Amino acid sequence: MRCPTWVTASEIDGWAESIAARTLLPELIRRLVLATVERSNLERINFPAGEEVQRRGYDGTTSAKVATTFVRQGISGWELSCDSDPRGKANQDYKNRVDNAQDRDLSQLAYVAVTARDWNGAASWAAEKTAEGRFREVRAYDSNTLEHWLLDAPAVGLWLAEQIGKPIQGVNDVATYWRNVLGTPQILLTNRQGTTKKLAEWLAGNSGSLAVRAASPAEVVDVFSHCRQKPMP
């Protein structure tokens, strides 16, 4: 599913100048990975965000059974940055990982450098580093890449728009809808236990279709929002 360009590359580049972007960028990449990689194909994901961004090691790691457009097959180490000199920061991070590899075989690892800034030379830098043969593959993503990735993840695009202070008229994510519209879920769920159970089971991983009969579309949205926020046991 592809969505309109709710957040542009230039807006991401501007957002990168904020202090908040430094702690939220890992969450953005985590959300994008989870939104665009089938859970059955995602063996491991770790992107410490918020107060956890100071942890040692790679800024993020993934292990995927199948490659997607932006997530490589196998194990990948991710380095994330909002630095105003994306090439300089990428070179610094890359050198640090190579110099501190010790006995680890980096040739089994894909290396992904991500910057929230505009970096016109990202692709050529990645090609140069891949040619060195240190890692299995090297990739570099900038704000333009992130704009394209967001097209495949509508919910993440909406989330990021909210983070940068760009409200999208006529569209709400489930959490915001539930918070703004509903106040008494007990009344909402009266005589709807069977429906909520079926919805909760469907949300838990059933990839098929679910038919729901209701008095109005709004009623279905309300019950669905409740189940999405607080799934039934």
pLDDT at 135 over 60: yes
CB 161 within 8 A of CB 134: no
- 42-46, strands of its sheet edge to edge: 42-46, 60-64, 74-81, 110-115, 137-141
When mean pLDDT is compared across 19-28, 149-158, 183-192, the lowest value belongs to: 183-192
Pairwise CA distance, residues 220 & 131, whole Å: 54
pLDDT at 54 over 60: yes
The domain total for the chain is: 2
pLDDT at 197 over 60: yes
Residue 74, in any domain of the structure: yes
The size of the chain, in residues, is 233
What is the pLDDT, as a whole number, of residue 189?
56
pTM of the prediction? 0.76
Answer yes or no: do 153 and 95 share one domain: yes
Average pLDDT over residues 182-205: 61
Average pLDDT over residues 56-75: 94
Which position has the higher pLDDT, 182 or 217? 217
pLDDT at 122 over 70: yes
Average pLDDT over residues 59-87: 97
Average pLDDT over residues 31-55: 87
CB 25 within 8 A of CB 179: no
Any alpha helices (H) in 74-204, and if so which ranges?
86-99, 122-132, 143-150, 154-163, 174-181, 185-188, 193-203
Residue 3, in any domain of the structure: no
Answer yes or no: do 141 and 219 share one domain: no
The mean pLDDT of the chain is 83
**DSSP code of 42?**
E
- CA dist 48 → 93, 106, 136, 158, 168 (Å): 17, 22, 24, 21, 28
| Partner residues linked to 44 by β-bridges | 63
Answer yes or no: do 145 and 191 share one domain: no
What DSSP line would sit under 64-94, residue for residue? ESS--SSS-SEEEEEEEE--S-HHHHHHHHH
Tokens of 168: 């999208």
Per-residue pLDDT band for 211 (boundaries 50, 70, 90) equals confident
Pairwise CA distance, residues 185 & 82, whole Å: 41
pLDDT at 106 over 60: yes
Q: Which residue segment(s) compose the domain that 208 sits in?
A: 174-229
Residue 1, in any domain of the structure: no
pLDDT at 28 over 80: yes
Residue 120, in any domain of the structure: yes
What is the pLDDT, as a whole number, of residue 188?
54
Q: CA 160, 163, 167: angle at the middle one, nearest 5? A: 85
Q: What is the CATH number of the domain that holds 37?
A: 3.40.91
Match 């918070």 to its residue by tokens.
Answer: 179
Buried b or exposed e, range 184-198, using 16+ CB within 10 angstroms = ebeeebeebeebbeb
What is the pLDDT, as a whole number, of residue 86?
97
Among the three residues 163, 185, 212, which one is the final residue of a domain in this structure? Answer: 163
Q: State which H helix or E strand residue 115 sits in.
A: strand 110-115
Kindly state the percentage of the chain with pLDDT values over 70.
Answer: 69
What is the pLDDT, as a whole number, of residue 231?
44
pLDDT at 232 over 50: no
Residue 169, in any domain of the structure: no
CB 115 within 8 A of CB 142: yes
What is the pLDDT, as a whole number, of residue 217?
73
Answer yes or no: do 147 and 186 share one domain: no
* Residue (of 4, 15, 28) closest to 165 by Cα position: 15
